[in-house]
Amino acid sequence: MSERYRPYRQQFETGFWIEGNAFYWEMVFWDQWLRPHAGAARRSSVLAHAPLRAHPLLAELPSGTHDPGTGGRPAGKRSGHERDNAVAEVRRSVNGSYDPLYQCAYMLGALQFRALHHELVDSKTMTDRQYHDAILRENMMPVAMLRAILTNQKLTPDFKSTWRFLDEVPAAAPGH
């Protein structure tokens, strides 16, 4: 889809868009299908995989080091990764090929997409299908800019977003 619609926007690829959107879809999956319809075994399976998703962030913060060998051990034990996989994840995170906020971008991007969904779909401004199609058709950009486009804000060369997306994120569902 990113090659079909506005491919020139691929230069704006960030973890906020790519990983944030993927993590947002995991949240949608949990909220709309898994949580209400799954038994305890399936819910436990999803919860067991949550630390694997959070591993890159867990690996860097508590260790206080940028040495993949030592950074991978503590999080590997907590996340369920084998030691070599944990070290590889940390190495990938700190080798300079990812921007410094990449690991935080998973969650922050997901929360932005979730808040925008709440604002546009829960208010009946758009349907789920219209919202998700619009994301794909607009292609990569800061989510605040996507919001400006989808809410028909006037875009000027000096446009600055004042969106406080955390104010829009719906409360977690019971058991979430």
pLDDT tens per residue across span 71-88: 444 454 555 556 676 677
- Distances from the Cα of 46 to the Cαs of 8, 20, 116, in angstroms? 36, 18, 25
- Total domains present in the chain: 1
Give domain status of residue 174, yes or no: no
Average pLDDT over the chain reads 74
Query: Please, which residues have CB within 8 angstroms of residue 96's CB and are 6 or more apart in sequence?
Result: none
Neighbours of 83 (CB within 10 A): 12
pTM for the model stands at 0.68
pLDDT tops 50 at residue 105: yes
Give domain status of residue 82, yes or no: yes
Give domain status of residue 90, yes or no: yes
**What is the rounded CA–CA span in Å between residue 150 and residue 129?**
14
- Please report the beta strands in the chain, taking only residues with DSSP state E, as ranges in sequence order: none
Range with the largest mean pLDDT of 47-61, 79-93, 96-110: 96-110
Residues 1/91, Cβ–Cβ less than 8 Å:
no
CA-based end-to-end distance of the chain: 31
Structural domain span for residue 116: 11-167
* Structure confidence by residue, pLDDT tens digits, 117-134: 999 999 999 999 999 999
Give domain status of residue 172, yes or no: no
- Distances from the Cα of 99 to the Cαs of 36, 63, 93, 144, in angstroms? 37, 19, 9, 19
**What is the rounded CA–CA span in Å between residue 134 and residue 129?**
8
Neighbours of 51 (CB within 10 A): 14
Give domain status of residue 176, yes or no: no
The two tokens of residue 176 are 């979430």
Give domain status of residue 33, yes or no: yes
Give domain status of residue 125, yes or no: yes
**What is the rounded CA–CA span in Å between residue 172 and residue 55?**
22
Give domain status of residue 69, yes or no: yes
